């Protein structure tokens, strides 16, 4: 598993248990330490014992937009090196890739028939990786599947460079007793899924057979506004939220999908979040379990 020390990766490690899981992050169990941006390291990871690869490591949206070269190295080149490691291993491992709805752009409602049209580098890099995974699968080098993830909530701890990081902070910070300045308008809408449901989807993807001709799958993300996020925690929060839109962040957020709906994902048994209250409840229960 790459990216195992990250937000989604660490939750996935907990769900799978550490037995038999080898990671590439120092903070994660059973680690093989190295930098995926170096081709020799990436190409050394898939040995004959590896039957399943979860590829979660990436430089997220804001970071990839700020540093094009690094984004290309981490998001695109490292993925290709990892795919080459699978090809050279010669035993067709299963390959689960965490893609993103950033492959779309400028369309509010996304469904299974919406064509990708990325408007940021991160989305373009993810789309190229999906195509590579399709081709490596067609050639019999891997058994690949790519999941287009909506915004995953609620991220604990500090923010990362994702432009959608506010969607977690607007819940996390006031619940922790800290005031938060939200950098988007109250009506700004995101397509969302909880971390618990996202992990369930990744595990499910690793266990089912995917149709050979359609290796990429959109996950359903429910539409939630910034105001609805704040309303969901307002009664119990000890901190306050005020809205001060940042023009640069707002411009990006105005171009991202507001909701994603996948009948195909439902047919294949992939879960989705019901509403923002369920997402907040999952976060609070996980926080309570962690501190308890």
Query: How would you label 224-248 residue by residue, b for 16+ Cβ within 10 Å and e otherwise?
Result: bbbbbbbebbeeebeeebebebeee
Range of the domain at 166: 7-291
Instruction: Give the active site residue among 7, 122, 136, 283.
Output: 122
For helices 276-291 and 226-234, the axis angle rounded to 10 degrees is 50
Report the domain count for the chain.
Answer: 1
Tokens for 186?
């109250």
Q: Give DSSP secondary structure letters for 101-143.
A: GGG--S-SEEETTPPP---SHHHHHHHHHHHHHHHHHHTTS-E
Residue 1 in any domain: the answer is no
In this structure, what CATH number is given to the domain that contains residue 246?
Answer: 3.40.50.720
Residue 269 in any domain: the answer is yes
Residue 26 in any domain: the answer is yes
Residue 141 in any domain: the answer is yes
User: Per DSSP, which regions of the chain are E strands?
Assistant: 52-55, 94-100, 109-111, 143-149, 151-153, 180-182, 189-194, 216-218, 222-225, 241-243, 259-261
Per-residue pLDDT of the chain (292 residues; tens, 9 = 90+): 999 888 899 999 999 986 667 776 655 556 677 778 788 888 888 988 899 999 999 988 778 888 999 999 999 999 999 999 999 999 999 999 999 999 998 788 999 999 999 988 999 999 999 999 999 999 999 999 999 999 999 988 765 557 788 999 999 999 999 999 999 999 999 999 999 999 999 999 999 999 888 899 999 999 999 999 999 999 999 999 999 999 989 988 888 899 999 999 999 999 999 999 999 999 998 877 665 5
Residue 2 in any domain: the answer is no
122 is catalytic: yes
**Model pTM?**
0.92
């Amino acid at each position: 598993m790459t990216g195992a020390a990250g937000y989604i990766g660490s939750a996935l490690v907990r769900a799978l248990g550490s037995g038999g899981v080898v990671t590439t992050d120092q903070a994660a169990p059973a680690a093989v330490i190295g930098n995926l941006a170096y081709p020799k390291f990436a190409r050394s990871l898939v040995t004959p014992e590896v039957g399943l690869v979860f590829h979660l490591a990436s430089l997220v949206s804001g970071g990839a937009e700020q540093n094009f070269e690094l984004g290309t190295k981490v998001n695109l080149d490292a993925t290709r090196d990892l795919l080459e490691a699978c090809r050279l291993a010669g035993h067709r491992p299963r390959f689960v890739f965490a893609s993103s709805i950033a492959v779309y752009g400028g369309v509010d409602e996304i469904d299974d028939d919406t064509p990708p049209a990325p408007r940021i580098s991160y989305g373009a890099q993810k789309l190229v990786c999906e195509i590579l995974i399709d081709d490596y699968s067609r050639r019999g080098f891997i058994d690949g599947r790519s999941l287009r993830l909506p915004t995953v909530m609620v991220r604990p701890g500090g923010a990362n460079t994702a432009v959608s990081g506010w969607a977690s902070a607007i819940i996390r910070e006031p619940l922790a007793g800290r005031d938060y300045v939200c950098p988007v308008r109250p009506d700004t809408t995101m397509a969302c899924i909880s971390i618990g449901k996202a992990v369930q989807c990744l595990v499910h993807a690793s266990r089912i057979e995917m149709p050979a001709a359609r290796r990429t799958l959109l996950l359903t993300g429910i539409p939630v506004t910034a105001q609805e996020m704040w309303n969901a925690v307002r009664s119990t929060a000890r901190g306050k939220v005020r809205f001060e839109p940042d023009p640069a962040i707002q411009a990006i957020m105005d171009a991202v999908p507001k909701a994603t709906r996948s009948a195909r994902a439902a047919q294949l048994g992939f879960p989705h979040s019901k509403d923002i209250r369920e997402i907040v409840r999952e976060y609070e229960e996980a926080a309570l379990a962690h501190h308890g």
